Amino acid sequence: MFDRPRLAPGDLPRTDLADPRVHAEYDLSDVWRHLRSEEPVYWQPETAGHPGFWVVTRYDDVASVYKNKEAFTSERGNVLDTLLAGGDSAAGKMLAVTDGPDHSALRTVLNKPFGPRALEIVVESVRRSTWRLLAEAVERGTCDFAGEVAAHIPLAAICDLLGVPAADRGHIIELTSSALSSTDGAPTTETTWTSRNGLLLYFAELAESRRSKPYDDIVSLLVSQEVAGRPLSHEEIIFNCYSIIMGGHETTRLAMIGGLEALIAHPRQWELLKSGAVSTATAVDEVLRWTTPALHGGRTATQDSFLGDAFIEEGDVVTVWNVSANHDERVFDHPERFDLARTPNKHLAFAHGAHFCIGAHLARQEISAVLEALRALVRTPVATAPPQRVFSSFLSGLATLPVSLEPEGRPGPGPAAG
């Protein structure tokens, strides 16, 4: 629809894959295809700003690294920004950057509020709020789908689970949107540091309030729950709240925005969705594969080993690129096609193995609610201006998506339950 220039494989020696501007300003499809074919485990040379790191691009290799937590640990960081800066301060305290028995014990606790049965009330609330937001946008005729619709859906669900008051949610949107990315060029260290610390401070204060007056929410659960026979420390509580809000808001929001952009760019797929010729379930998974909002995962090698023909040394930073794996020709037929009927569709948008996203069910339900509301309320979505992209080496997607939403003209009371 609004195509970016394609980066050629010949540009790779002069390209820094840790640079957020590269991912925002260029389409890297040809580069990923070249790497999968010729250098599936590629060494990104060091620069003046950071050390070198491995870039893993084939589906099977990516899945292998995700599964092998003994040889590739998360405990020194799981994204490039922190890995290249020397490590993650939350290592061993936050679920995403903890391995071994501590990870298993904490995950057992956090799995409970994210299970399908536990989420039934939240999912029904998501469907109602999504219908309302889309109906209001359709009535206005034009909107920024990113800021006026998508930004509010996953945030409301996660804030409900965490017990964040409605009055604080605008502030939380601002902080989450700038903690890992920027809309006006590469994010600065000062901006991201300020936003991340703002979130940590917010949840530190919320945790303190829950100690004296607990509610039925995840913060209260973390405050009161013992993990592996001991209570969680204050740091562990706030780091995991931070992880939940970031993981539950940003990636799902970007998938929703990118999904609508793809439907506008592929009118035949929009017709199939509108007619009910494709199921919402397969459509959701194709949106996730196509958008892959989390570009990569990061690990550190704990021992010398081979990955394919590449010799990985202990201590090396290893990045696995979901965005490439989800377009691997060895796994997906015609991966360059946006195909809402695609099946099977074992994408890696939620990672793989022990660190598979605990919020996967909720994310699928949220995207499903958006697709169902669009199908019922909108006759034709049309882009009205070029969107802005987020600048990040970890997140991928659109910060804005100005659209016109032609109403379907078919009345309805709201989404069906279930």
In 3D, which of 79, 63, 67, 54 has the Cα closest to residue 394? 79
Tell me how far apart the 2 most distant CA atoms of the chain are, in Å: 63
Residue 184: predicted pLDDT: 62
pLDDT in tens, the chain (418 residues): 578 999 999 999 999 999 999 999 999 999 999 999 999 999 999 998 899 999 999 999 999 999 999 999 999 999 999 999 999 989 999 999 999 999 999 999 999 999 999 999 999 999 999 999 999 999 999 999 999 999 999 989 999 999 999 899 888 888 887 776 656 666 677 777 788 889 999 999 999 999 999 999 999 999 998 888 899 999 999 999 999 988 888 899 999 999 999 999 999 999 999 999 999 999 999 999 999 999 999 999 999 999 999 999 999 999 999 999 999 999 999 999 999 999 999 999 999 999 999 999 999 999 999 999 999 999 999 999 999 999 999 999 999 999 999 998 654 445 444 3
Q: How far apart are CA 371 and CA 335, in angstroms?
A: 21
Residue 192: predicted pLDDT: 78
Architecture in CATH for domain 9-85+92-404: Orthogonal Bundle (1.10)
In 3D, which of 246, 245, 225 has the Cα closest to residue 107? 225
Q: How far apart are CA 264 and CA 254, in angstroms?
A: 15
Residue 416: predicted pLDDT: 45
SS (H, E, C) the chain: CCCCCECCHHHHHHCCCCCHHHHHHCECHHHHHHHHHHCCEEEECCCCCCCCEEEECCHHHHHHHHHCCCCEECECECCHHHHHCCCCCCCCCCHHHCCHHHHHHHHHHHHHHHCCCCCHHHHHHHHHHHHHHHHHHHHHCEEEHHHHHHHHHHHHHHHHHHCCCHHHHHHHHHHHHHHCCECCCCCCHHHHHHHHHHHHHHHHHHHHHHHHCCCCCHHHHHHHCEECCEECCHHHHHHHHHHHHHHHHHHHHHHHHHHHHHHHHCHHHHHHHHHCCCCHHHHHHHHHHHHCCECEEEEEECCCEEECCEEECCCCEEEEEHHHHCCCCCCCCCCCCCCCCCCCCCCCCCCCHHHCCCCHHHHHHHHHHHHHHHHHHEEEEEECCCCCECECCCECCECCCEEEEEECCCCCCCCCCC
Report residue 318: phi and psi, to 5°. -120, 120
For residues 347 and 285, is the Cβ–Cβ distance under 8 A? Answer: yes
Q: How far apart are CA 191 and CA 398, in angstroms?
A: 19
CA distances from 160 to 72, 122, 176 (A): 34, 8, 16
Q: Name the residue type at position 414.
A: G
Q: Find how far residue 150's CA is from the centre of its chain.
A: 13
For residues 58 and 66, is the Cβ–Cβ distance under 8 A? Answer: no
- 14-43 burial, b at 16+ Cβ within 10 Å, e below that, comes to ebebbbbebbbebebbbbbbbbbeebbbbe
Q: Name the residue type at position 145.
A: F
Domain ranges of the chain: 9-85+92-404
Q: How far apart are CA 392 and CA 180, in angstroms?
A: 7
